[in-house]
Chain A
Amino acid sequence: GAVVSQHPSRVICKSGTSVKIECRSLDFQATTMFWYRQFPKQSLMLMATSNEGSKATYEQGVEKDKFLINHASLTLSTLTVTSAHPEDSSFYICSARASFPGGSSTNEKLFFGSGTQLSVL
């Protein structure tokens, strides 16, 4: 099946620094990627939808200047948490929706990265 690689798996940083998280689709083209945030024992909260070659669409309440998303190629999207603070500590997960040439235009299934645990001291 399709594989999404997310790095790093864990990062600890000081308050005020920026952290970049990468999400790569390894064996398929991901025209759309999604970034989620998850608190312990809670569900995934969609932060933004990242489309290759265009600006990301952020969900209500998510600061786009705080969480910078870049989807520069069909296989890579990055999330940068700028000037991180302790309240940004969370589990961040990316997912990708595949686009297979000649396949269905409605590829509903999502392929997830393994997540990044961010701890801001």
Chain B
Amino acid sequence: SQQGEEDPQALSIQEGENATMNCSYKTSINNLQWYRQNSGRGLVHLILIRSNEREKHSGRLRVTLDTSKKSSSLLITASRAADTASYFCATGRTGGFKTIFGAGTRLFVKA
């Protein structure tokens, strides 16, 4: 079964605005990762945050992790039309080896 649940399921914003996506998970994790998928393509790794980290930045991306609430957020600042894609969170479980993906958020950035 899926581990992570993202919300919103779909998000439509104007270019230049910020986009925030949230992910909740159920079990203890070793790390949480965010991936991006363009339509009909494979996934591209964006950022990984470990369970002992609270915030991480990479370019226009900011990820937070709250292990007490079992949730994470992905913020994309100054969005561009090229950011239009589906975004998935994925968790690596403590003591496990599999990475389980959430349902994803479909982001549409209007030019």
| Chain A residues with a Cβ under 8 A of chain B | 4, 6, 32, 34, 36, 41-46, 49, 91, 93, 95, 106, 108-115, 117
Contacts and interface: CB of A to CB of B under 8 A. Distances in A.
Contacts of A44: 43, 88, 101
Q: How large is the interface on B (under 10, 10 to 19, 20 to 34, 35 or more residues)?
A: 20 to 34
Contact of B42 (A32, A43, A93, A106): A93
A34 B40 contact: no
Given A109-B33, A110-B45, A114-B42, A46 B106 contact: no
Determine the main DSSP class of A at the interface with B: strand
Given A32-B97, A108-B99, A43 B45 contact: no
B93 to A, nearest CB: 11
In order of increasing CB-CB distance, the 6 nearest A-B pairs are A112-B42, A112-B43, A114-B42, A44-B101, A43-B103, A108-B92
